[in-house]
Amino acid sequence: MQAKTATKKYALSLHTTTPELGIAISNFAGETRSQVWNLGRDLSSLIHQYLIEFIKPQTWTDFSLIAVAKGPGGFTGTRIGVVTARTLGQQLNIPVFAISTLAAVAWSQASKSQNQRTLAVEMPGQRGQIFAAIYQPMADGSGLIPLLPDTVMTPEVWQETLANWNTSYELIQAQSGLAATVTSILELAELDWQQGKSPNWSEALPYYGQHPVEV
């Protein structure tokens, strides 16, 4: 019988900024799996059930970090994901990495190509505005540099920003299927983890960009 070695440590990521739920798990040693479900309004009531089923055969004690899409995105979905990640991080006493939805889109694109082009990401917001950010992939593949951090602006200001940008860039429109970038959320968190970062669960905060209209 083979002696049991050190427990494998896994990372878990959540993406809930759209009506879809994305979950990914990896030990970054060849074992990675992810899945997306379109739960719509049932997201809040079903997320824990789907989590419990998806992590099997792993158990909660197997995880060394949690990553979550912090937004921008839908207000309710974003809040559900961040609260879930914070709760798990607190209960398991492990770090929680809150990763930008736009950064995940940029990283997903950067991973598909070998070039290091600047990536401009835009996503529809509320009331005719858009969320936007500009990222530069690091030459050594260790992450992204935010040249223009996530922000909200009018389409006119965004177009002016791009027109005056002093380097070439690739424009990415983040409109659908964003939960599929849950693996990118995981990878970006792992890169931060490798660099020695270990944020406390209390530091994981949602980025709404826009406040919902209050009655």
Domain ranges of the chain: 10-100+177-203, 102-173
Reported as a pLDDT band with limits 50, 70 and 90, residue 175 is confident
Does 7 score more than 80 pLDDT?
A: no
Q: Region 57-67: what's the mean pLDDT?
A: 96
Instruction: Give the per-residue pLDDT at 2.
Output: 38
Rounded distance between C-alpha atoms, residue 198 and residue 128, angstroms: 37
Mean pLDDT over each residue of the chain, to the nearest integer: 91
Domains 10-100+177-203 and 102-173 agree in fold: yes
Q: What are 188-198's pLDDT values in tens digits?
A: 999 999 999 99
Tell me the one-letter amino acid at 5. T
Strand 118-124 relative to strand 96-99: parallel, antiparallel, unpaired? Answer: unpaired
pLDDT of residue 213: 44
Per the model's pLDDT, the better-predicted residue between 214 and 90 turns out to be 90
Q: Is 194 helix (H, G, I), strand (E, B) or coil?
A: helix
| 180-192 average pLDDT score | 97
In this prediction, residue 215 carries a pLDDT of 32
Q: Which pLDDT band holds residue 176 (cuts at 50, 70, 90)?
A: confident
> What is the reported pLDDT for 8?
59
Please compute the mean of the pLDDT values over residues 157-175 and round it to a whole number: 95
Q: How far apart are CA 163 and CA 153, in angstroms?
A: 15
**pTM of the entire structure?**
0.92
Question: Tell me, what amino acid is at 133?
Answer: A
Domain 10-100+177-203 class? alpha beta
- pLDDT value of position 141: 86
CATH of domain 102-173: 3.30.420.200
DSSP letter for each residue of 120-143: EEEEE-STT-EEEEEEEE-TTSS-
For 126-159, write each residue's pLDDT tens digit: 889 999 999 999 988 889 999 999 999 999 999 9
Q: Roughly how many angstroms between the first and final C-alpha of the chain, as a whole number?
A: 65
Q: What is the DSSP letter of 47?
A: H
The pLDDT value given to residue 126:
86
> CA dihedral in degrees (10, 206, 188, 23; nearest 10)?
50
Q: What is the mean pLDDT of residues 52-67?
A: 96
